[in-house]
Structure 1
Amino acid sequence: MKLQVTQENLARALSTVARVASTRNTLPILSNVLLKTIDNRLSIAATNLDIAITHQIGSKIQKTGSITVPARLMQDFITSLPDAVLDLELKDNKLSISTDKYHSTINGISSEDFPVMPAIKGGATWKIPAAELKRGLQKVVLAASNDDARPVLTGVYFHDLAGEIFVAATDSYRLAEHKLGKHKGKLNFLVPASAASDLLRIIGDSSDEVTITHDDQQVMFVVGDIILVARLIEGNYPDYRKLIPTKFATVARLARADFINIAKVSSLFARESAGSITINATDKKISINAIASQLGENMAEADAQVKGEGDVTLNSRYLIDALNAFSGEHIDFCFNGKLEPCILRSGDDSGYLHLVMPLRS
């Protein structure tokens, strides 16, 4: 293998794919990235067997070939080089990387030992603007669980309902749902939250469309020259819509920035009590109380339009996360007493809602 490629393009591709290279796997080659020439382009790929990412970049191919090299070393080395044209040459599983001022050799492992990168043949395919998918995933992925004891809760749920696509995530303490848009046909699959986070990084500020293809076992996202394939999570997602109230005893509308400010201040005093804060809705204000036996106590309030007085105790981090997921100026904070789920929604973020379960005070 012999080729030329720019440092900028190679560094960008390595930053995209190297993060999925596994350093804790029993297969040492999974800590490597695969470099392979394909049709006058250089393909850079990595996998941890659950997620695989491939990024193709332009290059000047003089001799075809392939090799795998340590992902961390390759990324750190290429990133540290100045912007220049790089000469890559492979001899006896040793990759030579040169510029006019640098020359290094990295020991590789034959690509024959690297897993075959997954592909989906057939399956359902649809497209969505990258910005729209990014907005939806950003709003829900934070609610996915980190606990592998219930695998289905560690994913982002894509599904259709009444001709619309929804994405949702829950860890059983909170729930986020966002409507992506209209869709024809059935849709029902569960993407690992880690894959959704990788996809968000890949999308970045892209203005492209994302092509999504899925079958019963895998899903593939294509964004420009980048392909992410993830193994779907098996299992039935809970019927979370049963949790979402449709009527409320208390509805408070207030400025989102004000709500965030008083929640953050109160959270400083809630550290001793596992983040517990009590929210009171009265005639024209929302107040948040937090008490810490060692630190002291705090009460902060903000002006609000309130229908129906009441109070409820929540986890401050969950509330702040939910408020930060919205982009509109105002928030409707809705609940039914101390024991029922609370709903946050905004007319400025139509199609999105966030549910937070109360704490028993």
Structure 2
Amino acid sequence: MRIKTSNSELMKTLSNIGKVISSKPIEQILSNVLIRIDEKINLIGTNLEQGIECVLEGEINDLSDGVREVVLPFSILRDIVSKLDMNDTTEIELSSKKGVIKQKNASYSLNCFNPEAFAILPKIEEKLSFSLNLSFLRFLIENTIFAASKKEESRKEFKGVLIDSKDGFINFVATDSTALALNKKQAELPEMSFIIPWRALDIFSKIDTGKDDNVKVISDGNSMKFMLSNLTLISLLINGKFPAYETVIPESFEYSAEVNKDDFLKSLKRVNILASKGNERINLTFSNGFVEIESASTEVGEGKEKVQCNANTEISIQFYSEKLINGIEHVPSQTVLFGINGPLHPVLIKGQDNDSYVYVIMPQKPSE
């Protein structure tokens, strides 16, 4: 069989597929891409936990040999395609033994692998389904996944994002036990509660679709499928119990403070340069008029800055700097509000007159 397509379209498709293909797969066959021909040209990649199937726009010719599926080495195919002319057409001749990539005077022959050894993406029974706008879904993802744990040794629930829909709202929640991010948006959806790996959502948010679209999401309770017009992402769900996040969020505060987001963030990032490497911490001392930001390293030195602040008390609190900076960056307002109950109690961070994003962070003991 032969297929002919725009090289730029082929490169975009391979880039999307590559988001699930590991450079060090647990099985060698998972470092490959499956090309399947039915009525369309389908490219499939998987790492067993997540899988992507993309429809490649192009022509299908000469199916007389009966070959409908071939497996090619992904990284080599991608590297060849990336070096070809993006403004030209690429032709791929496929047989059970060889895949030949052609463009102008260039020709590259790759050995094929047995498609029967390739992991098939699971079929998902549609027990639950809903649709969301792609931009809306990406917004929820990008403003939540940063708070999930990236450590392999963490509890599995902490390596996921809770998608919780009830009472006319959809909540995206992530935590690593020391900080929690909640994004809450109005959406008339069926009631549901799933934990999906943060990596699956990260992959989906970075997919190049070329346009805004609606995403159909279906689930059978074990897996979740995100469906666009020319791309499908499937991921296993995390079977576990997510922490009762609503009980973690403080409802009242003894002290409060507010700062300008841009000024505060710039100072945080500058002062953080002086924090001890491997144990980056920042100390905040709130007072009426200013918040003093301070960090120090015995090897390098110390840094201090003051930023204008409105506060109803004087209190000093220490945080892991990366977690504090990440939380502040996603506040959807130019005024950042702090809700404080003491130097070792959870601190709530949100935007002024905006409850759609809430961030809760645990302070650290200064002596640690």
Once residues 26 and 193 of structure 1 are traced to their aligned partners in structure 2, the CA distance between those partners, rounded to angstroms, is 20
Answering whether residue 9 of structure 2 is matched by residue 9 of structure 1, we say: yes
**Equivalent position SS for 1:351:** strand
Q: How does 1:65-76 map to 2 (within 5 A)?
A: 65-76=68-79
Secondary structure at the aligned position of 1:20 is classed as: coil
Query: Cα distance, 1:186 vs. partner?
Result: 1.7
Residues in 1 aligned to 2:7 and 2:75: alpha-carbon distance in whole angstroms? 16
CA contact (8 A) 2:52 2:232 kept: yes
Partner of residue 30, structure 2:
30
Match of 1:173 in 2: 178
Counterpart residue number, 1:338: 343
Amino acid at match of 2:45: A
Give deviations 1:303-326, integer Å, cap 9, x for gaps: 122223322111111111112223
Aligned position for 2:51: 52
* Ranges in structure 2 where 5+ consecutive residues have no aligned partner: none
Verify the 8 A CA contact 1:266 1:288 in the aligned structure 2. yes
1:226 deviation in Å?
Answer: 0.9
Q: Cα deviation per residue 1:268-287 (whole Å; 9 max; x = unaligned)? A: 22225811221111111111
* Corresponding residue number in structure 2 for 1:347: 352
Select between 252-261 and 272-281 the one with higher mean Cα deviation. 272-281
Is the alpha carbon distance of 1:347 and 1:129 closer, same or farther for their aligned partners in structure 2, counting shifts above 3 Å?
A: farther
TM-score (structure 1 length as normaliser): 0.95
Query: In the alignment, what sits opposite 1:145?
Result: 149
1:261 CA drift (Å) = 1.4
CA contact (8 A) 1:130 1:206 kept: no
Shift of 1:203: 5.9
Secondary structure at 2:125's aligned position in 1? coil
Shift of 1:50: 0.4
Partner of 1:325: 330
> CA 1:220–1:305 in structure 2 vs 1: closer, same or farther (change >3 Å)?
same
TM-score, normalised by the number of residues in structure 2 = 0.93
**Match for 1:324: what amino acid?**
E
Task: Provide the residue aligned with 2:310 in structure 1.
Answer: 305
Task: Provide the rounded CA distance (Å) in 1 between the counterparts of 2:147 and 2:28.
Answer: 33
Aligned: 1:95 with 2:99:
yes
- Cα 1:185–1:286 shift into 2, 3 Å: same
SS at 1:134 equivalent: helix
Confirm whether residue 106 of structure 1 aligns to residue 110 of structure 2: yes
Match of residue 139, structure 2, among 111, 135, 138: 135
8 Å contact 2:217–2:225 — kept in the other structure? yes
Question: What is the aligned-residue RMSD (CA, Å)?
Answer: 1.7
Q: Secondary structure at the match of 1:19?
A: coil
**CA distance in structure 2 between the partners assigned to 1:20 and 1:207 by the alignment:** 22
How many angstroms does 1:25 deviate by? 3.2
- Aligned equivalent of 1:314: 319
By how many angstroms is 1:169 displaced?
A: 0.5
For the residues of structure 2 that align with 1:92 and 1:221, how far apart are their CA atoms? 31
Counterpart contact for 1:131–1:205, Cα < 8 Å: no
| Residues 106 and 180 of structure 1, relative CA distance in 2, 3 Å threshold | farther
Provide the residue aligned with 2:291 in structure 1: 286
* Distance change in 2, residues 1:37/1:295 (3 Å): same
Q: Map of 1:197-236 to 2, 5 A cutoff?
A: 197-202=202-207, 206-236=211-241
Q: Which residue of 2 aligns with 1:296?
A: 301
Among 81, 85, 91, the alignment partner of 2:84 is 81
Count of residue correspondences: 360
Deviations 1:292-339 (A, max 9, x none): 223222221111222233221111111111122234222112211111
Partners of 1:34 and 1:206 lie apart in 2 by 25
Deviation at 1:205, TM superposition (A): 6.7
Q: Deviations over 1:193-244 (max 9, x none)?
A: 1101101101667411111111210000112311000000111111122111
Corresponding position of 2:244: 239
Residue identity matched to 1:66: E
- SS of the residue corresponding to residue 321 of structure 1 reads helix
C-alpha contact 2:130 2:189 (8 A) present in aligned 1:
no
Distance 2:288 2:201 in 1: 41
In 2, the alpha carbon distance for the partners of 1:272 and 1:59 equals 51
8 Å contact from structure 1 (residues 190, 234) kept in 2 = yes
User: Do the aligned residues in 2 keep the contact of 1:119 with 1:229 (CA within 8 Å)?
Assistant: no
Whether contact under 8 Å (1:332, 1:345) holds in the other structure is yes
| Alignment gaps of 5+ in structure 1 | none
- Alpha carbons 2:70, 2:96 under 8 Å: kept: no
Give the AA of the match of 1:98. K
Instruction: Tell which deviates more after alignment, 45-54 or 308-317.
Output: 308-317
Q: Is the 8 A contact 2:255 2:312 kept in 1?
A: yes
State the distance in 2 between where 1:162 and 1:351 align: 15
Instruction: Give the ranges of 4+ consecutive aligned residues of structure 1 lying more than 4 Å apart after TM superposition.
Output: none
